[in-house]
Amino acid sequence: MDVTIINPFLNATLNVIETMAFVKAKAEKPYLKKDNVAQGDVSGIVGITGAVRGTVSITFDEVSILKIVSNMFGEEMKEINHEISDAVGELTNMISGQARQEIEKTGKILQGAIPTVVTGKNHKLISMTKGPKIAIPFKTDTGRFTVEVCLEK
């Protein structure tokens, strides 16, 4: 997969999480994901069309998203609920938007759909495209999350 497509999602994720939630995240080694099982408890998914098409998702484990949203709202969040789901959708939208702006500088125009949010242990994220699924794990002081990019030309 083209790093000019993957790196903007990595950069946008780090920027949005730090800017919106004051949480420092560290990207770990990306890998080719073979299954559809989410690596966390709540996921935001956005469809991508244009120069490439596919999906981008971000999946948070419970402790990481509770800390991130608590920081965003300025109050302690104790469980995954409607407010957490809304925040995950908004974070997904911001990350997708920033990444697409960076990609536009290379001359490739991408559009993003409205994000969908899925919650629950071991939920599945199934892309409708046949491209490779690259997973980028991130670590924070309070938990983990993973960005998955599955795009095809």
The pTM assigned to this predicted structure is 0.92
Give strand pairing partners of 114.
none
Whose CA is closest to 147, among 28, 50, 1, 2?
28
- pLDDT grade, residue 66 (50/70/90)? very high
If you average pLDDT over residues 8-31, what whole number do you get? 95
Write the pLDDT tens digit of every residue in 84-95: 999 999 999 999
CATH number at residue 94: 3.40.1550.10
Count of structural domains within the chain: 1
Cβ atoms < 10 Å from Cβ of 121? 9
Mean pLDDT for the chain?
93
Q: What is the residue range of 86's domain?
A: 3-152
